[in-house]
Amino acid sequence: MPLLNRILIVLPVIALGLVGGTFAARYLELDSQNDSYDVESAAQVTTRNRTDDMIAAQQARLKRNPNDGQAYTNLAVAFLQKMRETGDPSYYTKADGLLHRALELNPNDFSAISALGSLALARHQFREALDWGERARALNPANAHNYGVIGDAQMELGLYAEAVQSFQTMVNRRPDLSSYARISYARELHGDLEGAIQAMRQAVEAGGPNAENTNWTRVQLGHLYFEQGQYAAAEKEYQAALNDFPDYPYALAGLGTLAAARRDYATAISYYTRVVNTLPLPQFVIALGDIYASAGQPDQAAQQYALVQVEEKLYAANGVDQDAEMALFNADHHRDLPEALQRARAAYARRPSITVADTLAWTLYQTGNYDEAQQMMMQALRLGTRNALMHYHAGMIAYQLGQREPAITFLDQALRLNPRFSLLYADHAQKLLSELRQGQ
């Protein structure tokens, strides 16, 4: 029995093609129960759920004792959470300095080493994340969080069998929200959408120590439903998250995506404007731009796309690797295509995951390199991932190579998975599929 199909058997029963890129937000840690941080600080976060209080408390602690290594780590973790809440990548740089100061005080500080793994993930520095995760595991092999960092890095480095083993170890040691969510993502990439939903629902039911963690997983569950064209089920999850956590940006974005899929652009713009005003992550800015473009408002779309370029510089200045995300953005919007291809190649060299393989394949397609694009698309689909946008990319590449039957198959698969999989491409997929079938 394949490992992914038996992961949940060993568990006690305790019951991330949206628009835009993923950027750094995917890898901001959800492990609020991570036991590498001290109990006093964890209590402050979970009972008051106020990051600013955490920051103030640790700054006061450092003022009393400038050599308190744990306080440096706690403050760094609070800054990572602050980035999650504000989208300001300068908190990465602040956290980095604090964690390295903790290591100066104690080179074997497990808490700091573990947190540096989380920081490297957030910056898309996956080889570095793997190194930090392995160092943390060597110091404390019983700690479940280590295996999450290691597995996340392995996923992005294309080491899928190893990642599944890491997640298996993590869930065996600590079956909770964070480990279930990782199982869900692994199953999704391996084409087991039903299993991915099952695992993400377990993550929701397991819950976290604060509302943000729990509702993040609820939104991810909504995304899984959306990716299968189950829009009512997706809306139910987004709305439940919003009811539990008012004005939650990720839930608002989900509802905005649904409104856009239903061609209710005014409502979609309203939702995404609220999101961007609260949490201006690049993927949300891109989404708002694409909705404006679909609504026939090109000037407003251009303003959002220009903001993405500004944000890119800010992220790069704070150590975030965005080559894959910006390559996809530029390929989708026909901007600086030679540079987009260069960045896509560089990204794949550093992180040869199936998602980056898909980005490189699509960028090759947009630059007219169809044969190489198809070779790379085979790499992107090697796990059997059932993703509508990836199948659309494969279909378009096959079409340009004159491969009618594969093109029909891929486009049909994309639309069967999710008829409104993309604001940019869903209508075109339907039109081209109809034309190809009529020509048979």
User: Nearest 10 degrees: CA dihedral of 43, 45, 50, 55?
Assistant: 100
User: Nearest 10 degrees: CA dihedral of 252, 228, 357, 292?
Assistant: -40
Alpha-carbon Rg for the chain, nearest whole angstrom, is 21
Residue 97 in tokens: 């300095």
For residues 361 and 373, is the Cβ–Cβ distance under 8 A? Answer: yes
pLDDT of residue 43 exceeding 80, the answer is: no
For residues 231 and 259, is the Cβ–Cβ distance under 8 A? Answer: no
pLDDT of residue 1 exceeding 80, the answer is: no
- What integer is the mean pLDDT of 322-338? 97
Give the per-residue pLDDT at 210: 76
Burial letters 43-69, b for 16+ CB under 10 A, else e: ebbeeeeebeebbebbeebbeeeeebb
**Global pTM value:** 0.90
Q: pLDDT-based confidence at 26, cuts 50/70/90?
A: very low
Give the per-residue pLDDT at 440: 62
Residue found under tokens 């009393």: 64
Q: pLDDT-based confidence at 211, cuts 50/70/90?
A: confident
pLDDT of residue 56 exceeding 90, the answer is: yes
Whole-angstrom Cα distance, residue 301 to residue 269?
Answer: 11
Domains of the chain plus CATH, in order, are 3-244 (1.25.40.10), 247-304 (1.25.40.10), 306-438 (1.25.40.10)
Whole-angstrom Cα distance, residue 107 to residue 102?
Answer: 8
pLDDT in tens, 261-274: 999 999 999 999 99
pLDDT of residue 180 exceeding 80, the answer is: yes
pLDDT of residue 116 exceeding 90, the answer is: yes
Identify residue 39 by its one-letter amino acid code: V
Whole-angstrom Cα distance, residue 274 to residue 111?
Answer: 36
* Alpha carbons within 13 A on the beta-carbon side of 99: 24
Burial letters 264-303, b for 16+ CB under 10 A, else e: ebebbbebbebbbebbbbbbbbbbbbbbbbbbeeeeebee
pLDDT in tens, 126-147: 999 999 999 999 999 999 999 9
Q: pLDDT-based confidence at 6, cuts 50/70/90?
A: very low
Whole-angstrom Cα distance, residue 217 to residue 181?
Answer: 7
| Per-residue CA distances from 14 to 140, 237, 371, 409, 433 (Å) | 26, 19, 48, 40, 44
Identify residue 2 by its one-letter amino acid code: P
Give the per-residue pLDDT at 439: 78
Give the per-residue pLDDT at 49: 56
Averaged pLDDT of the chain: 90
Q: Which of 414, 423, 424, 355 is nearest to 389 (CA)?
A: 414
Whole-angstrom Cα distance, residue 95 to residue 97?
Answer: 5
Q: Which of 403, 400, 336 is nearest to 363 (CA)?
A: 336
pLDDT of residue 25 exceeding 50, the answer is: no
Give the per-residue pLDDT at 40: 35
Percent of residues, the chain, with pLDDT higher than 70: 89
- What integer is the mean pLDDT of 85-90? 93
pLDDT in tens, 286-298: 999 999 999 999 9
Give the per-residue pLDDT at 212: 86
- What integer is the mean pLDDT of 164-179? 97
Residues contacting residue 382 through CB under 8 Å, at least 6 positions apart: 354
pLDDT of residue 42 exceeding 90, the answer is: no
pLDDT in tens, 350-388: 999 999 999 999 999 999 999 999 999 999 999 999 999
pLDDT of residue 50 exceeding 60, the answer is: yes
Give the per-residue pLDDT at 378: 98
Whole-angstrom Cα distance, residue 296 to residue 168?
Answer: 48
